[in-house]
Each structure stands twice: as structure tokens, then as C-alpha cells.
Amino acid sequence: MTTRHAVVSGASIAGLSAAFWLRRTGWEVTVLERATAFRDGGQNVDVRGVGREVLARMGLTDAVKAQNTTETGTVFVDASGEVRVELPSDGATAELEILRGDLAGTILRQLPEGVEIGYGDPIAAVREEADAVTVTTSAGRVLRADLLVVAEGVRSATRDLLFEGQVDRRALGITMVFGTIPRTTGDDSRWRWYTTVGGRQVHLRPDHHGTTRAILACTEAEDPTRLDRAEALTRLRDRFSGVGWEAPRILDGFDGSDDVYFDHLTQIRMPVWHRGRVCLAGDAAWCVTPMGGGGASLALVSGYVLAACLSGTGSGSPTPGLTAYENWMRPLVDDVQGLPRWIKPFAFPRTRFGLTLRSAADKALMTPALAPLMARFTRVAETDRALPSITATGTATGTAR
Ligand SMILES: Cc1cc2nc3c(=O)[nH]c(=O)nc-3n(C[C@H](O)[C@H](O)[C@H](O)COP(=O)(O)OP(=O)(O)OC[C@H]3O[C@@H](n4cnc5c(N)ncnc54)[C@H](O)[C@@H]3O)c2cc1C
């Protein structure tokens, strides 16, 4: 059988998982990443549900555990930092907590030999034909392939180019700003989560690098990713003025941090995730946002499921394999994209009265009677279905070229 060639665009969790598994199943793989080097950074993500099984099949569970963020649990605190409510174990804090950059870096280091990664040279044009897809990069490199996997994240340019008119972007009206700040002696091993009026939340989480991971989240109509960093940080400071607790420290920390990530939460919904020899994976296909949860787990799983579904299709049309991939992934995505209407006002109360109701509800949710409802929010990438089986060729694990 002739070796099939896949081009994967995007070298984060979804793209690297796809590269890992396609190479393992005998494909020649070229990864194209827009950034000029591997993108480290990013804050806490967790591996849940069937993501744990995929990680185990990659042989990476111990490596991920070794980089655990050391978070021991999650508590809701009040304006003075006193704990109001303690969440159940394996609730918001999962068993496998890791920083985004550490997870992506772990997959990168364990890619099977022979995966080529090209940095700083993204796709400029795509030509689709029945028997091949031809990619031209911005530097003029031409790659003729059997498959193009677009794993460029929520704001994917190649997806927008190829699936114009089919991308339903649903802005949730929530901004989240993630960043790394110096650790202080008052920081402990728990995720401390403070909610206050005006639709604002403040979070502090430990990591295993001796720093602290902070999040400021708020309801916001305008997309801060369209602004330059200085302007976005100034607006953030205005929005969080008078919030109290650790907000001033976090704002000062963000000013001095080179690792601040702005997100204006936007779900991506599409009627179809593949066409001909092109398919989408991870946030590019179905961004679920942190409100849905499980984006990293779904990205990880998608690479495995894609390769597994294509492993039985030979060198003919990939359509049956891509259809099977989509059919397998879609229920997992639907499960977390359908957010109840009340979730946003519940998570981001605007008034004192709303905050009082929320505080009462938090306590009620911890009672045994309502615990199943609480568990629902952290159940992502869960399924009774077995993962599709994969035909491994035994390609050795080693360093990527
Ligand atoms: C640097 C960074 C920091 C992040 N920090 C957080 C965080 O703190 N909290 C959080 O909840 N989520 C964060 N995320 C998002 C999170 O990683 C994803 O929601 C999730 O893991 C799904 O991963 P993904 O691989 O589908 O997409 P992403 O992780 O978004 O990765 C997409 C990759 O594609 C690359 N790319 C984009 N456009 C192109 C292009 N045209 N051509 C080639 N490559 C392209 C990007 O540089 C990136 O490497 C971050 C993502 C990145 C890239």
C-alpha cells in the first residue's frame, strides 16, 4: 500500500494529537504551525472522560501526572478570601490537571519519528481535487497530500477560507483573561474562585512552576482579542475596578506578564466538519469554550478518533473514515455545547440580590440531593461507547524532525 500523506495545520493539542496518531498508523505527516516556534504557555486544562483513555494509549499518562499543577481542590471564597463552599473532589479540579503548554509540549516530545513540523509558514492557499489536496504555504512551499487536517483553534483562518458560510460563531458575551503572576505566601494549593456583582469573577490557581495562574472573567459584549494588549489591559483594569480581593494584585501581575491570554468566549458550531480531503479538528471545528468545558480533552480525543477511523479505509477516498470520525465525535461535542440559558446569569450575577441567590444555590448544590446536578457540569468527554479501534504500524516513538 502506498504511504498516505497528511498535512496538519496547527501544532497545539488537536494538531499534535492528530499528527501523533496519523504517524502511528503509517501516514507521512507534515505539521504547519503559524507561530515561529512551539507555542508554550496557556493556563490550566484538564484531561477527562475518554481523554484519559487516549492519553493512556499514547503512553503519556505518567508524563502528564508528573507535570500535574499540584492543585488539590476547588473552593469558593468571599471578598476577604474566607472559604464559603468547598467543591467535591474530582469536581472542578480533575485528577489530571496540567497546563496547556505542558500538555502540548508532552505530545510534541513524544511524536513518532518522521513527523515534520514547519514553523512560521502557514497555509496561504488550498486546491481541492478528487484524488489530492494541494496546499501552498505563505513562503511558497507546495505540498500535495491525501488529507488536510485543520486544527488551528477557534479563530482558524483556513477553516474560514474553506468552509465560508458554514461557520456559526456564537459569542457568549464573556471575556476570560488568563495569565501567570508571581506566587505569594498566601497562595495555597487550591483553586480559589471569587464571584462578585457586576458579572465578574476572580480566580487563583497553583501551578508546579512556582508561579500562580490567575483568571479574570466577566460579562462583556466587546471582543478584547481585537484590541492591542495595552488597550485590552487598560479596559480590563476599568472593568475590575473596586472588585477587591486579589484583583488589584492580578491586574498588576498581568501588566508585567508576557503570558497573558485573552479569550472572548465563542462557540463554533458547524453542520459538517469535513469535505473531500479536508477535515477540521479541535476548537477549529467545535470550540466549546471553558463554559462548556473539556476543550482540551476533546482536542486530544479527536486526533485519535480521526486516525482510527481512517486506519481501516486504505488509500481510496477518505470520506467514509471522515464520516465515521464526525459521527463518533459529534455526541461528545453536543453534550457540552448545549448550555442552559440560566448558566450565564448564575455564573456571573450582576446585582447584590443575584449574588445572594447564587450564594444560597452554591450551598444547596453541595447537598447530596443536588450533587448529581453539580457533577453534570464537570462531566465532559464521557461516553459509554468504546473508542474506535486503531491499526498501529509500530512506528517508533522519538523526536520530531
Ligand atoms: C498559546 C495558547 C494559550 C492558550 N491558553 C489557554 C488558557 O489559558 N485557557 C484556556 O482555556 N484555553 C487556552 N488556550 C486554548 C486551548 O488550548 C484550546 O481551547 C484547546 O486546548 C483546544 O486545542 P486546539 O488544539 O484545538 O486549539 P489551540 O490550542 O487554540 O491551538 C491552535 C494552534 O493552531 C495555530 N494556528 C492558528 N492559526 C493558524 C494558521 N492559520 N496556520 C497554522 N497554525 C495556526 C495556533 O498558533 C495554535 O498553535 C490556549 C491556546 C493557545 C494556542
Convert the pLDDT of each residue in 213-226 to its tens digit. 999 999 999 999 99
Instruction: Please report the atom of ligand 1 found closest to the CA of residue 215.
Output: 8
Residue 379: pLDDT over 80: no
- Going from the Cα of 283 to the center of ligand 1, the distance in angstroms, rounded, reads 8
Between the alpha carbon of residue 90 and those of residues 71, 118, 239, the distances in Å are: 11, 38, 32
Q: 139 CB less than 6 Å from ligand 1?
A: no
Between the alpha carbon of residue 279 and those of residues 127, 250, 307, the distances in Å are: 14, 39, 12
Contact 296, 46 (CB under 8 A): yes
pLDDT for position 374: 64
Residue 395: pLDDT over 50: no
Residue 96: pLDDT over 90: no
* pLDDT confidence bin for 400, thresholds 50/70/90: very low
- Going from the Cα of 153 to the center of ligand 1, the distance in angstroms, rounded, reads 5
Q: 262 CB less than 6 Å from ligand 1?
A: no
Domains and CATH numbers, the chain: 5-69+101-169+268-337 (3.50.50.60)
Q: 157 CB less than 6 Å from ligand 1?
A: yes
By most ligand atoms within 8 Å of CB, the mutation choice from 16, 40, 152 for ligand 1 is: 152
By most ligand atoms within 8 Å of CB, the mutation choice from 69, 100, 257 for ligand 1 is: 100
Q: Which tens digit of pLDDT belongs to each residue from 131-163?
A: 999 999 999 999 999 999 999 999 999 999 999
pLDDT for position 108: 98
Contact 228, 235 (CB under 8 A): no
Cell digits for 258? 508576557
Q: 79 CB less than 6 Å from ligand 1?
A: no
Q: Which tens digit of pLDDT belongs to each residue from 229-261?
A: 999 999 999 999 999 999 999 999 999 998 899
| % of residues, the chain, pLDDT over 70 | 93
Q: 296 CB less than 6 Å from ligand 1?
A: yes
